[in-house]
Structure formats: C-alpha cells, structure tokens
Amino acid sequence: MTEQHRPVIRLLPKANARAIRHGFPWVYANEVVADRRTKAIAPGAIAQLQDNDRRPMATVAVNPGSKIFCRVLDRDPEAVVDSDWLIARLRAAFSLRQHLFDAPYYRLVHAEADGLPGLVIDRFGDAAVMQPNAAWADAMCEQIHTALAEVTGVKTVIKNGTGRARGLEGLPEETLVMSGGVDAPLPVPMNGATYMADLMGGQKTGLFFDQRPNHAFAASLSKDAAVLDVFSHVGGFALAALAGGAASALSVDSSAAALELATSGAKAAGLAGRFSTRKGDAFDTLAALAAENAQFDVVICDPPAFAPSKPALEAGLRAYERIARLAAPLVKPGGFLGLCSCSHAADLAKFRGASVRGIGRAGRQAQLIHTGFAGPDHPLMPQLAESGYLKALFFRLLP
C-alpha cells in the first residue's frame, strides 16, 4: 500500500486529542469515526490518524476488532513503518539494555515504552522470545524477526503467541520456533543465582525479568534466614535469597513443572542442599503451614495478576488482602514480609491498602521499609499508567 493510499482514521469531537498529542499511545474505539470504511480495515493495518478538523496527528496501527482501535506507532503522520523503521526502534531499545547490563539476559522490548506498542521481547543470551500482543506486530512478525536478528545477533527466535492480551486483540494462540531451536531449558544467571527458563512451555516468555531488583532486595534481607517463597514459579525469590546467603528456602507453587525447573536451578548453582519445594495451592499451603506452626524469617508472596482488569479490581483486592492475612502469621517477630502485585488495575495505593488490611487482620503490626518496581529494562511510559504494573512492598513485622 502506498503512502498516498494509507487509510485515514479521524477522531470524534469528544476524543481527547490533546492527550494523544502529549504522548498517550492509544485511541479507543469510541473515540473514532467508525463507519463501514474504517470497520473494514484489516487488523494490523497502518493508517494516518487525524483530528476532528482533519489535521494529521500520527501514524497508527489499526485493529477494528479491539477496544484499542489505534495504537500510535510514530508521531510523524507520514512515517513509513517498514524494516528500517523496525531496526531503528530495536537499536534504540538494544542500546539502553547494553548500558544497563553486562550479560545479555533482559527484557529487550517493553511494548509502548520502547515505541513498539503491544510487542514484548525477552532475551536469553543467543535466544529471544517475542510476544506480538497487538495485531500490527503479529502481522509483521517475520519482519520483526529479521530485524531482531540483525540488531542483536540472536540465533534462536521463538514466537510466544499466548495470553490474555492476544485474546483481547482477536489473535489466535500459537507458539512456534521462527529460527534456531531450543531442546532444553536454558540457564539464566541473575543476582548470583541460576534460573532455568523453559522458552517453549513456560509461563509468559519463560522467566520474569521484571522482578530482578526486588529479588536482590529480598536477598539483602535473607542472610542466614529461613525463607518462604510463595507463587515461586521457577524459584525467583528463593534462589536469589539462597545466593545471598539464606540458610534455607522453601518454594511453593501449584505447578510441578515450575518447581522442577526451580530445583534444577538450585542444583546448577550448587544450592540444592538448602532448597526445598512444596506443590500446592498457595492459599491452602499458607493455611497448612500455619497449622504446622511453621515460622520463617522472610516470607515473599508474588502471585499472578488478581486484578487484570477494572471489573476484577474488587475481587482482586480481596485476594491480595487474604494473601497478606495468611502470610503474616508465618513471619517470625521482627522478620520480613514481601508482597507483590503485577495487576494493571490495582494501583500502588489500592494494593498497599489491601496488604496493610490483611496484615492488620492477622493481628500483626508492620513497618513498610521498601517499595519496589520493575527493573529498568521494563521502562515506564509516563503517559501510560499500565506500563508501571509491578509493585513490591516489603514490610518488617514488629516483634
């Protein structure tokens, strides 16, 4: 399609054109003139966004089947979104990570915050996993793959096309190897620990890089400590704590496969003698540990998103409160409790309130000693609150 024939999307008078001009990256379906022409545009097509007075504003990717009708790709209304454009965006993202990390294990592309809306790419040495969670990125998968290999030199690229975000975009679920191959979980060094990342069958891209600084802070509290890591996945907090000198760590998760990977990571780092696992529902296991009069110096709970959307917010906050209420009795007097949320809909104040209520309902008093967020390879787009999804609260429970 030539630039002259690029589709045009026009804002309604009620749309907040000022917010878009100031950097907000989304245009919702109820903000655009949605006639038969615009509704017929293919998902993922590139278009020009115009304000109500037909003044060009930006180059956007369109998905008529999504509540996010347009995603802003470029502030230049005439920008050409092609391989050169992709390479430029990837080089900018790659440059930041090279400044931040000595080893090539990080989130390389964090969607809107890196100017590639809806696209997530995590790097694991010579391998990368891409999640095209927007229609335009899914349509340009091959070009992204080629540009990614050129910019970073990775040999293996895996497309992980699963998850809630793709469903909201009307995209099918699929996981495929685009180049290279992986025949076993990959060891990933982080915070002195070794994590085993299953790039083909694990959660998300295989590992959660966003918690890196929070793992490190928890480890700083854990020297000679007995540590409980609930919703452990592949051993995130537990293995970091052991690497930081913890006396012991127990990982709890409902996934046997995740706990097997955690055990493999502990063995790879020579930490297996101080590491143990317990498979089970987190709520049930916390209650069972209390019944066993178990006590720990450090307890960390890092659950999945209990409030992934606004309709789920109240139920999610009740779940966060319940986790805090069940976890607090397991903390020794003067010990530490870490509570995490990756829910977009639960902002920091609401999550903190739910956590404090839960601790109080458990009959404990607490000092909030640290608030953590995602690492710098997960930059926050200031105009988009959703990009700052991760919160980690660390409390000292008073004797």
Residues acting as catalytic residues: 342
Helices 256-268 and 236-243 meet at what angle, rounded to 10? Answer: 20
Identify the H or E element spanning 73: strand 68-74
Phi, psi of 308 (to 5 degrees): -75, -10
Q: What is the DSSP string of 226-252?
A: EEEEES-TTTHHHHHHHHTT-SEEEEE
How long a stretch of residues is the chain? 399
193: region left, alpha or beta (phi > 0 left; psi from -120 to 50 alpha): beta
Is 167 in a helix, a strand, or coil? helix
Asked if 276 and 259 count as a contact pair (C-beta separation under 8 A), the reply is no
Please count the CA atoms within 13 angstroms of the CA of 157 that sit on its side-chain side: 22
For the record, the structure tokens of 304 come out as: 């999945």
Residue 371: which of 354, 351, 399, 345 has the closest Cα?
351
Asked if 38 and 78 count as a contact pair (C-beta separation under 8 A), the reply is no
Please count the CA atoms within 13 angstroms of the CA of 391 that sit on its side-chain side: 23
Q: What is the DSSP string of 94-110?
A: HHHHHHH-SSSEEEEEE
DSSP-assigned letter for residue 75: S
Give the angle 56-62-67 at the CA atoms, nearest 5°: 115
Burial (0-12, 13-18, 19+ Cβ within 10 Å), 293:
exposed
Separation CA 22–CA 5 (nearest Å) = 27
Separation CA 305–CA 302 (nearest Å) = 9
Helices 282-291 and 313-327 meet at what angle, rounded to 10? Answer: 20
For the record, the structure tokens of 72 come out as: 């802003």
Separation CA 308–CA 319 (nearest Å) = 12
